[in-house]
Structure 1
Amino acid sequence: MNEKLLKIINERQLVSVMNKTKWREVCEDFEELDSPHICIRYKLITSDDIFGFSPVWWDQLLEDASAIEWLDFEPVVSEHRGRLVSNKKTDRSAEILSILRRHSIRYSNQESYFRVWGYLTPGDCPEFV
């Protein structure tokens, strides 16, 4: 881990929940998942920006894994079918949860999303599932 990240972790008193191995397992499994792209949003400890829900290149996300504060999975995939037909909505909760459980990754429910925590700040008390 580089010095910039260590400085941020120490200044914000962050506690690591995930490690590089767990992030690698998650990213590899989602990359291999044979279904429409699951959208995620995430926040890095290096910024206050939240990267909105969109499909992601899992190998690129893995490069930033040591800086991920949290990662939300959108369980409902919306597939565009045309201008005159409403989007097709498919619930991918079972697939997402299967991967998280396979690797014993604890997550919390945030609104309708599944959140995997990379770091916790003092005062964070998520209810892990």
Structure 2
Amino acid sequence: MNEKYRKIINERQLVSVMNKTKWRELCHDFEKLHSLYIRVKYKLISSEEILGFSAVWWNEIYEESSAIEWIDFNPIISKYRGRLVAPKETDMSYEILAILKKHGIKYSMEGSYFRVWGYLNQHTNPVFV
């Protein structure tokens, strides 16, 4: 692990929820799903900025996994079909949940999003599903 991240983890008294194996399994299965349309947003431990909602390259998420505080999955995929036609919406909840359950990855519901936690602190009390 990067020394910069180790320092942040110690200063903020963060506790890891995910390990490299779980991150690898999660990223591998989402990449295998061949869905670049699944949108995620995530927060790194080194910043207050929230990145996303956008499609991601799962190998890049895996590379950053040791610094991800949390990642939200938007289960609704919206495909543009033209100016005169409403976007086509597809619910990917089943596919997302199947991957999370397959690997025993705990998650919480944040509104309509599935949140996978990388780290928790003493002030974070998610309700895991």
Q: TM-score range by the shorter chain?
A: over 0.9
Name the residue aligned to 1:103.
103
SS at match of 2:18: coil
> Runs of 4+ in structure 1 displaced over 2 angstroms?
none
Name the residue aligned to 2:45.
45
Name which of structure 1's ranges 32-41 and 84-93 shifts more when overlaid on structure 2: 32-41
What TM-score do you get using the length of structure 1 for normalisation?
A: 0.97
Q: Deviation string for 1:24-69 (max 9, x for gaps)?
A: 1000100010446200000000111100211100011111000000
Name the residue aligned to 1:11.
11
Unaligned 5+ segments in structure 2 are: none
Counterparts of 1:120 and 1:36, CA distance in 2: 28
Distance 1:21 1:67, change over 3 A: same
SS at match of 2:83: coil
Name the residue aligned to 2:78.
78
Name the residue aligned to 1:27.
27
What number of residue pairs does the alignment pair up?
129
Counterparts of 2:76 and 2:95, CA distance in 1: 11
Aligned partner of 2:71: which letter? L
Counterparts of 1:88 and 1:56, CA distance in 2: 20
Unaligned 5+ segments in structure 1 are: none
SS at match of 1:70: strand
SS at match of 1:48: coil
Counterparts of 2:33 and 2:65, CA distance in 1: 19
SS at match of 1:108: strand
Counterparts of 2:54 and 2:2, CA distance in 1: 28
Aligned partner of 1:8: which letter? I
Contact 1:12 1:121 (8 Å CA) reproduced: yes
Aligned partner of 2:88: which letter? K
How far did 1:73 drift? 0.2
> How well do the aligned residues superpose, as a CA RMSD in angstroms?
0.9
Name which of structure 1's ranges 77-86 and 66-75 shifts more when overlaid on structure 2: 77-86
Contact 2:36 2:56 (8 Å CA) reproduced: no
Alignment of 1:121 with 2:121, yes or no, is: yes
What TM-score do you get using the length of structure 2 for normalisation?
A: 0.97
